[in-house]
Copies of this chain bind each other. A is one copy, B any other.
Amino acid sequence: MITWVEGAAGSPYDIDNLPYAVVSTDATPARLGARIGDRVLDLGAAARTLRPAWAPLLDVAALNPLMAAGPRTWDEVRSWVVELLTDPALRDRVTLLGVDEVTTSLPFEVADYVDYYASEHHATNVGRIFRPDGDALLPNWKHLPVGYHGRAGSIVVSGTAVHRPAGQRKAPADDAPTYGPSLRLDIEAELGFVVGRSLPLGERVGTAELADTVFGVTGVNDWSARDLQAWEYVPLGPNLAKSFATSVSAWVTPLAALAAARVDVPGQEVAVLPYLQESGPNGVPSGYDVDVEVELNGVVVARPPYRTMYWSPAQMLAHLTVNGASLRVGDFFASGTISGPEQDQRGSFLELSWGGREPFAVGEEQRTFLEDGDEVVLRYSAPGALGGRIGLGEVRGRILPTR
């Protein structure tokens, strides 16, 4: 199948990708669009004219109605989009917008947001930085995917500027805490999973149900104020250090588009309890071969590889509901910082600068944490079904001074 859209074949947004976003222009209110090459198929308009039954799913300003329709409909809509973009007879029946002409907004209404801590390299680095004399990994880490609830209301779409958070910090040598703008503002490069299914309280989702439960993935930058975090986090975990903003990509890549990116997780040497067991094609849990680029002010400073993550998406999902927690369409869980084994594969400045003690090069500059005016862009890509690489949504954000 070859798309009739000029310049799209062979690009990172070929017919094997087709991510969704909520798009608007001066002339058109927000509705769903699907990216193809440098263009956006107006799904709202296409539904109104060609498939009115789907207008309530597609001519709307969030992915939630489509997600709520369930995985069979996800497949049907995706097949229809392929048909629209490959059948030359249909090219005059649909509207394409330029990807640079549209404004994107938050692609889904977020229900609950859970952030995991699924990279062994990241958790080990953080443990070594903060507890140099103790065990790098805590005893529970290889038995369950450690996670916590973040603030759903401060999730913002890529491109939204982020005000530097203020709050309390206290270094061990200080007598008392002080208040002010965070001095150790950081990024966390993560991958996010959007849940398109609801489940009543008291039930559970198994590891085999990932594809029926997760609609798609996003890029995530879980901005983190390390000085606030160090002071506040015992015993109930991070709160204000994270709750000021979490950026997600405008584009949600359907899980179906990542089929060719499936890989085995690197190996879980500690046997897990049955509810966390996942038998992928090779008898081990499945991850994704997603590459991430972390760019600071135009310079790539790290390339975290998602394929090195310890816990799989299906395991994170199964853990989320094993206690009987309900699911809502729009629930969102993220992987936690992606860090690989190499120094230039670390997904946070905390790790890249080893706790701020070893500045790292950004072009001519030496940097530790974020400065006002900095712009961070996270770029994601993965193998696609057509043999090339597909582009996932980027996550862009500039730091503004504390208000």
Interface residues of A (CB under 8 A from B): 111-112, 114, 117, 138-140, 143-144, 146-154, 156, 160, 162-163, 165-168, 170, 176-179, 201-204, 225, 228, 231-241, 243-245, 273-275, 319, 322-328, 331, 400, 402-403
Instruction: Output the least CB separation between A248 and chain B (Å).
Output: 14
Q: Which 5 A-B pairs have the closest CB atoms?
A: A237-B237, A163-B202, A165-B323, A148-B236, A149-B149
Option from B176, B238, B402 in Cβ contact (under 8 Å) with A143: B176
Q: Is A167 a contact partner of B323 (Cβ separation < 8 A)?
A: yes
Contacts of A225 in B (CB 8 A): 323
- Is A138 in contact with B202, judged by CB distance below 8 angstroms? no
A16 to chain B, nearest CB (A): 34
CA distance A113 to B232 in the complex (A): 18
Which residues on the B side are within 8 Å of A154 (C-beta)? 201, 325-326
* A2-B335 Cα distance, complex, nearest whole Å: 59
Asked whether B234 lies within 8 Å of A138 as measured between CB atoms, the reply is yes
- Given A177-B144, A233-B235, A236-B148, check contact A243 B166 (CB 8 Å): no
A153 to B238, Cβ gap below 8 A? Answer: no
A-B pairs with beta carbons under 8 Å apart, 9 shown: A139-B170, A140-B177, A147-B239, A148-B239, A149-B149, A149-B243, A201-B244, A236-B238, A244-B325
A401's closest neighbor in chain B, by CB?
Answer: B202
Q: Which of B138, B179, B403 contacts A275 (CB 8 A)?
A: B179
> Could you tell me if A243 and B273 are in contact, using CB atoms closer than 8 angstroms?
no
Nearest-CB residue, chain B, relative to A270: B176
> How far, in Å, is A224 (CB) from chain B's closest CB?
11
A273 partner, pick from B138, B149, B168, B323, beta carbons under 8 A: B168
| Bound CA span A13–B232, Å | 41
Smallest CB separation, A337 vs chain B (Å): 12
**Interface contact B167-A322, CB-CB below 8 Å:** yes
**A153 CB contacts on chain B under 8 angstroms:** 111-112, 325-328, 331
Contact status of A243 and B152, CB under 8 A, knowing A147-B236, A201-B163, A273-B177 = no
- Are B237 and A236 touching (Cβ within 8 A)? yes
On chain B, the residues within 8 Å of A150 by CB distance are: 149
Measured CA separation A234–B148 after assembly (Å): 10
* CB < 8 Å neighbour of A324 from B139, B166, B168: B166
Report the nearest B residue to A235, measured CB to CB. Answer: B138
Find the B residue at minimum CB distance from A131.
B235
Contacts A152-B152, A178-B273 aside, 8 further interface pairs with beta carbons under 8 A come to A143-B177, A146-B235, A162-B201, A166-B323, A225-B323, A236-B238, A241-B323, A245-B324
Q: Chain B CB within 10 Å — which of A235, A319, A327 has the most?
A: A235
